[in-house]
Amino acid sequence: MRLTKLKIGNVTVENNVFAAPLAGYTNYATRRLIKGYGAGLCYTEMVSAKGLKYGSENTEELLYTDEHEGFCAAQIFGSEPETMRFACEHKALEPFPIVDINFGCPVPKIYKNGEGSALLENPKLAEEIVKECVKSGKIITAKFRIGVSADKLVTEEFAKRMEGAGASLITIHGRTRDKMYAGEVNFEEIAKAKRAVQIPVVANGGVFSEADAEALLAQTGADGVMVARALLFDPQIFCDLTGKQRESKLQMLEKQLKWTEQVCDERFTLVFMRKMAAFYVKGERGAAAAKARLFAAASVSELRALMQEIF
């Protein structure tokens, strides 16, 4: 696909292939991995603004980064403009020049709390949130869906509001909230938003191959694409999209395991890497039996030995 640099506020990223923020997955080790495979921009897992305000230790752990990872953006969620600005100004967000506001999360717990995609039904409040966050001095971007349901599409209006409030880039997931992560991506809704604003637009949804990415760009006119669920099963999809050389699954796993160990305790490392290894074994011969063995690993050393045997 055609790679181009993207200017976001006063920052320029290397290419227009982004990695989506995925709760429970896009931690430090995963981001460092996919950045090495060519992703132009990675995001932290979705972080609660209230969690930062009230000193949640777990919330701050989600924002771990270092010089080895390189440039990265943080994503936060919430529904109170002042609390969202407080989060942007929090010490834990100092390493992140870009802060993305989540207006797309469809998870019932978030939605029922008036956060994430619930704000698609309250565009005035969403606008106020972005305006307040811009006052922090951070580069503010926004990620949102095309609406909560097919009869409540808001893409064009919401995009204009985000631009007017001071967002430097928007990412649009081309599905409604009620579709969660299934169903067809609505290319035309993303295209409408692209035609309506001057800031860069990144299209999200249904990218599992280079052909998918090219189709999404061609049919929406977007400036870039964002890869989400595909990176769980195949982080090296970014190699295909950016022209980098793939490596073996074992090499990939060993890097991810090493970087997880560096910043997490034994228990988290074991649980997380069992889960990731199970994703990567999909499609391999004897995958079901291999998954069962991986999930039975009782220690990181046992898991490492199994990885070397299976992959």
User: Per residue in 129-156, pLDDT tens?
Assistant: 999 999 999 999 999 999 999 999 999 9
Region 33-57: mean pLDDT is 94
In the chain, how long is the greatest CA-to-CA distance? 55
**In angstroms, rounded to a whole number, what is the distance separating the alpha carbons of residues 189 and 122?**
19
Q: Would residue 72 show up in a list of annotated catalytic residues for this protein? A: no
- pTM here? 0.94
Question: In the predicted model, is pLDDT for residue 57 greater than 80?
Answer: no
pLDDT level of residue 198 (50, 70, 90 thresholds): very high
pLDDT level of residue 181 (50, 70, 90 thresholds): confident
**In angstroms, rounded to a whole number, what is the distance separating the alpha carbons of residues 192 and 194?**
5
Choice among 105, 133, 239, 264 that is catalytic: 105
pLDDT level of residue 180 (50, 70, 90 thresholds): confident
Question: In the predicted model, is pLDDT for residue 51 greater than 90?
Answer: yes
Region 162-189: mean pLDDT is 94
CA-derived radius of gyration, the chain: 19
User: Per residue in 247-283, pLDDT tens?
Assistant: 999 999 999 999 999 999 999 999 999 999 999 998 8
Which pLDDT does position 185 carry in this prediction? Answer: 92
Which pLDDT does position 182 carry in this prediction? Answer: 81
Where in the chain does DSSP place strands (E)? 6-8, 11-13, 17-19, 43-48, 73-77, 98-103, 139-145, 169-173, 201-204, 224-227
Which pLDDT does position 58 carry in this prediction? Answer: 81
- Domains plus CATH for the chain? 6-242 (3.20.20.70), 249-310 (no CATH)
Region 110-136: mean pLDDT is 97
pLDDT level of residue 302 (50, 70, 90 thresholds): very high
Which pLDDT does position 227 carry in this prediction? Answer: 98
